[in-house]
Amino acid sequence: MKNGAYDDALDELALELVGMARWARAKGERIVVVFEGRDTAGKGGAIKAIHGRLDPRQCRIAALPKPSEDERTQWYFQRYTSHLPAAGEIVLFDRSWYNRAGVERVMGWASERQVAEFLRAAPIFEKMLVDDGIRLFKYWLSASQESQEERFRERLDDPLKRWKLSPTDVAARAKYADYTAAREAIFAATHTAWAPWTVVNFNDQKRGRLTLIRHLLDRLPDTHVEPEPIDWPDLGHDPLTEEFGVLSPIPDFPDGE
């Protein structure tokens, strides 16, 4: 997708996202969006496209680090529950509890028994949240191995992106089909009426973001809430300038030569 068309379309969607956030705050709505998918599919970029337009005090990203020793032995969902939203909040999960049946399964970090237990428990867990009034959306970002390879290559070659490449990524390349199988098992067990999955094609990441956001917005009820009017009187004097006593600004960054 061309940059110009993307920017225009995103700006239009952003207006609706901002409206949704105003509505969530006004009505005390709680929104959870789960982003899953293969490495490089574009989870981070999609999350940023939403988060970047909203008040970071209202819209949080939950990207959990590896579980600690203690967390590993707790109720599996425990460390996720502490990130669930209060009234008016929107939480974007960059990966989620599905790790157990995704990366942990494929990499052999969880036993088949743990995976089976998770797949049994996840729909029940999610139903509890939904029954409590949380609006839960689950997106799976899909990418062919061709585009995955391309993006891995980019991370390898671009020093700005090199940090995105982890040993797990290297191992993931040989396991593309295993991930496909793991995803199918996830869908079979957890695509429920109360918390359905939506698959979005992210071979074109920009288009993928628009598709996802459009879909998310369409699944919400009418979110129109009039913004509070703001009274904005004249300053009543000429604008003031900065006056420094103790310290002064350092020299500006120079124009390039």
- Binder to a second copy among 116, 154, 191, 192 (CB under 8 A)? 191
Q: How many CA atoms are closer than 13 Å to the CA of 232, on its beta-carbon side?
A: 3
Q: Does 113 bind a second copy (CB under 8 A)?
A: no
Q: Does 61 bind a second copy (CB under 8 A)?
A: yes
Q: Distance between CA atoms of 45 and 143, rounded to whole angstroms?
A: 14
- Binder to a second copy among 170, 171, 194, 224 (CB under 8 A)? 170
Q: Does 246 bind a second copy (CB under 8 A)?
A: yes
| DSSP string over 15-81 | HHHHHHHHHHHHHT--EEEEEEESTTSSHHHHHHHHHTTS-TTTEEEE---PPPHHHHHS-TTHHHH
Q: Does residue 51 contact residue 18 with C-beta atoms inside 8 Å?
A: no
Residue closer to a second copy, measured from CB, 109 or 162: 162
Q: Does 15 bind a second copy (CB under 8 A)?
A: yes
Q: Distance between CA atoms of 164 and 151, rounded to whole angstroms?
A: 10
Q: Does 43 bind a second copy (CB under 8 A)?
A: no
Q: Does residue 17 contact residue 53 with C-beta atoms inside 8 Å?
A: yes
Q: Does 215 bind a second copy (CB under 8 A)?
A: yes
Residue closer to a second copy, measured from CB, 55 or 108: 55
66 to 95, contacts with a second copy by CB under 8 A? 68, 70-71, 73-78, 81-82, 84-88, 94
Q: Distance between CA atoms of 247 and 224, rounded to whole angstroms?
A: 47
Q: How many residues bind a second copy (CB under 8 A)?
A: 111
Q: Does 223 bind a second copy (CB under 8 A)?
A: no
- Binder to a second copy among 3, 57, 193, 221 (CB under 8 A)? 57
Q: Distance between CA atoms of 82 and 79, rounded to whole angstroms?
A: 6
Q: Does 182 bind a second copy (CB under 8 A)?
A: no
Output the smallest distance, CB 105 to a second copy, in A: 16
194 to 213, contacts with a second copy by CB under 8 A? 197-201, 204, 207-208, 210-211
